[in-house]
Structure 1
C-alpha cells in the first residue's frame, strides 16, 4: 500500500545559465497486494547529471519519506529545484550530495486509486442539481432488517414523505418474515439469521442504479435527509463514497496501514474521529477512511469490495478495512438522517444483536489471516 512517485527531469542550456535541474513529482496511488516488476526500485544513472528513482519508490500518503538514491555527478556550480517549494544549491559537490540525500517526498492531498499525473485537485468543480425524478434514476435505498418490522415500517413511511417513487431494497433474515408491500419496494427473504453482511451483499447485489444509499432499519428520514445534495458532491468528485450524519452527530474514523513484511505481516491502526482534510471545493465534507451506517456509495465500487458474509454480527469498520486502498470516503455534515427512539427489544433480538466473545475472537482471527496482519490497534 502506498504512493508511487514518478520523477521528471528538465534541463536548461548550460551555456546560457548555471546548470539547473527541475525535479517534478507525478504520483498515483497503488494498493495492490501483489507485486509487479514496477515495484522494483530503479535509479537513473548520475550522468544525467542527477541520479533519481524512476520507479519502485513507494511512500505512505501524507507521510514524509526520503527519496532514495538522490546524487549529483557534475563538479560545477549547481542549483537543484524541486517544484514548487524547495531549492538546493551549492558549488561543492560533496555538500550538495549530502543535502540531496536528505530530500524527502510528502503528498499534501489524501486521494486513492488515481492515475492522474500532476496535481490531483481539480479547480472549478462543476455543480449539478437534481430534482426528485432524477434522484430516483440515480439512487436506490438499501437496508437490512431482522426482527424489527415496527422500525422498518417507520423508516419506509418516512422515505415516502420525501421521495415518493425512489426504489427501496430490503434484505430480511427474520425467523418469521412479514410481507413488506408497496410500489418500488423489493423485499428479499433470506434464510434465518444469516447476518448483517450477508444481507448487505444481497441488497447491494440487486441495485441497478449508479448509487445506493445505505440506511439502518431504525433510521428515519427528516427534512435534512436531502439525497440530491450528496449526489451533487458524488457527481463532482469521481471515485468518492460519502457519509452523512445520524441524529446530528458526525461519526468517522481513519485507517493507517503499516505494511510490514511477508513473514510477520503488517499493522492496522483505526483512529476514531480522525480526518485527513476537507474535500476540496466542498468544505462541508472531510476526507476519512470510514463512516457510520448512513452513506451514499457508488454501486460498482462497493460491489468490487463486497461484504464478508463470514462476519454476521460484529461488522462495520471491517467493510472499510477491506476497502482500504480502493474506496475513497468522505463524511459530510450538510445531509443528516434521524434515529428512531429506542424501544424495548425482544429477548430473541437482543440475543442476536449483542455478539459473544467467540464472535469477537473469530472476527480478529479472520482479519489477521485474510489481511496478513500481526496487529490491529484501536484509538
Structure 2
C-alpha cells in the first residue's frame, strides 16, 4: 500500500526558521512512507537547501498562506497532505486511511488528531481541534459539535491543519495570502459552507511544538493578523466553548503500545 500511495499522495510542508523540526518530520515520513513525494517551501532568512525532497525557496517571510498556495500548485498527484513543519509521523499516522475516505465518499478534507504535550497537566495528551464555528452577536464560538455524519464519519467546520484533500479542491480553495500567520481559522471560515470536512477517529500525528526566539518573533503577530480575519468574517471576539484537550482514555483502543509507552499515555 505504501508504494501505491506514492502515486496518489504528495506531502507538502511550509517551513520557516525551524530546520531541526523539518529534519525530524522528513525523517519520520521516510520511516513510514519511504517513497512518498514530499515538497517543501522555505521562506526562512537563510534557508538551507536539501536534496532528499523537492525543495523550493520563497522570499523571506512570504507567509504561510502564500507558501501553501505555492506548494499546492506544484502537486501532481490527485491528493495532497497538508502538514506543519513541527509534526512527526508515528505508528498511528495512517495516510492510507485518509485516502480510503476520499476515494469512497464526496468528503473534501479528512484529518486527524494530535498527540501533544500539555504544559498545564505536565503530560502528553490528545489534542483535537474539530468543531463548529458559529458567529453570533459579534462573537465567534468554537464548539465541539458536529454537522452530522456522512459515510460513517462526523463532519465539522474545522479540523487541525493535518489533513488530506483532493489537490484540485485545494487549488480551487486557496489560502488568503494576506494572512502571513493566523491562517488556520480564517481558511476554514472562508469555506465552511462549501467544503465537507471530516475527522478520522483512528489517525494521529505527534505535534512537537517548538518555538525559539527568532521563530516566535514572526509567529506572534496576532495583533496584526488576527483583527484582519476577525473583521473579514464579522466578529470581534472568539470563544472556545470546550477544551481542545482530550484524555487518552477515550482513544486508547486506537493507539499502539509503541505510542502509549513513548508518550506515557495513561487512561
Q: Same fold (TM over 0.5)?
A: yes
1:240 and 2:111 are equivalent in the alignment: no
* Residue pairs, 1:56-205, within 5 angstroms: 131-182=1-52, 185-205=53-73
User: How many residue pairs are counted as aligned between the two chains?
Assistant: 230
Structure index of larger Rg: 1
CA positional deviation for 1:268: 7.7
- Give unpaired runs (5+ residues) of structure 2: 116-125, 241-267
Would the alpha carbon gap of residues 364 and 269 (structure 1) be closer, same or farther in structure 2, given more than 3 Å must change?
Answer: closer
Structure 2 residue 213 is the aligned partner of structure 1 residue 347? yes
Check if 1:314 corresponds to 2:192.
no
> Structure 1 residue 228 and structure 2 residue 96: aligned?
yes
For 1:374 and 1:159, how far apart are their aligned partners in 2?
39
Shift of 1:221: 0.6
- 1:240: Cα distance to partner? 2.6
Q: How does 1:350-369 map to 2 (within 5 A)?
A: 350-365=216-231, 367-368=232-233
* Distance of 2:228 and 2:205 partners within structure 1: 32
Aligned to 2:256: none
Q: 1:271 to 1:363 in 2, by over 3 A?
A: closer
- What is the match of residue 274 of structure 1? 145
Q: CA deviation at 1:376?
A: 6.6
Local SS of the residue matching 1:228: helix
1:330 corresponding residue in structure 2: 198
Cα deviations by residue, 1:243-276 (Å, 9 ceiling, x for unpaired): 1111143321213468xxxxxxx97844232212
**Is the 8 Å Cα contact of residues 267 and 375 (structure 1) preserved in structure 2?**
yes
Secondary structure in structure 2 of the residue aligned to 1:291: coil
With a CA cutoff of 8 Å and minimum separation of 6, indicate the structure with the bigger relative contact order.
2
Task: Pick one of 164, 172, 192 that aligns with 1:296.
Answer: 164
Q: How many Å apart are 1:291 and its aligned residue?
A: 0.4
What is the TM-score when the length of structure 2 is the normalising length?
A: 0.79
Q: Are the aligned partners of 1:250 and 1:331 in contact in 2 as well (CA < 8 Å)?
A: no
Residues 45-67 of structure 1, C-alpha deviations (whole Å, 9 max, x = no match): xxxxxxxxxxxxxxxxxxxxxxx
Question: Contact 1:252/1:289 (CA < 8 Å) preserved in 2?
Answer: yes
Q: Which of the pair is proportionally richer in strand?
A: 1
The separation in 1 between residues aligned to 2:236 and 2:145, in whole angstroms, is 20
Query: How many Å separate the matches in 1 of 2:27 and 2:107?
Result: 31
Q: TM-score, normalised by structure 1?
A: 0.57
Q: Distance in 2 between matches of 1:377 and 1:337?
A: 26
